[in-house]
Amino acid sequence: DSGVTQTPKHLITATGQRVTLRCSPRSGDLSVYWYQQSLDQGLQFLIHYYNGEERAKGNILERFSAQQFPDLHSELNLSSLELGDSALYFCASSVRWGLADTQYFGPGTRLTVL
């Protein structure tokens, strides 16, 4: 158990809908990262927050947004969902954002868009 929790574990929805994925980092970790993992594209970095502020953006679509709250939990919002958004979404946390910091991953949320 990494100490990172993600809810829900599974999510099934229809095209055009909007969903929110939630992540609680390990106690004491200030950084939260979001990743998308799909069979055809591998592991894609989406976005990084540190202590409530956005620090880096990766391959995140404009239909997707995220935020980190004062209690350090984070939410990833996916809107106007398309079939291709079906994937595993992982959240990870680290103490700070140093180059050598280990990222601790949650168990993931499996999103299925029908």
The site for another protein (CB under 8 A) is made up of: 2, 4, 33, 42-43, 45, 48, 55-56, 58, 90, 92, 97-108
Cα distance between residue 51 and residue 79, in whole Å: 25
Could you tell me which residues are beta bridge partners of residue 42?
38
* Between 12 and 56, CB nearer to another protein: 56
Q: Measured from the CB of residue 14, what is the shortest distance to another protein in angstroms?
A: 25
* Between 64 and 89, CB nearer to another protein: 89
- DSSP assignment of 35-79, as one string? EEEETTTEEEEEEEEETTEEEEE-S--TTEEEEE-TTS-EEEEE-
Tokens of 2: 């990494």
Q: Measured from the CB of residue 16, what is the shortest distance to another protein in angstroms?
A: 29
* Between 19 and 91, CB nearer to another protein: 91
Residues in the chain: 114
Q: Measured from the CB of residue 75, what is the shortest distance to another protein in angstroms?
A: 18
Cα distance between residue 87 and residue 106, in whole Å: 15
* Between 25 and 106, CB nearer to another protein: 106
Q: Measured from the CB of residue 110, what is the shortest distance to another protein in angstroms?
A: 10
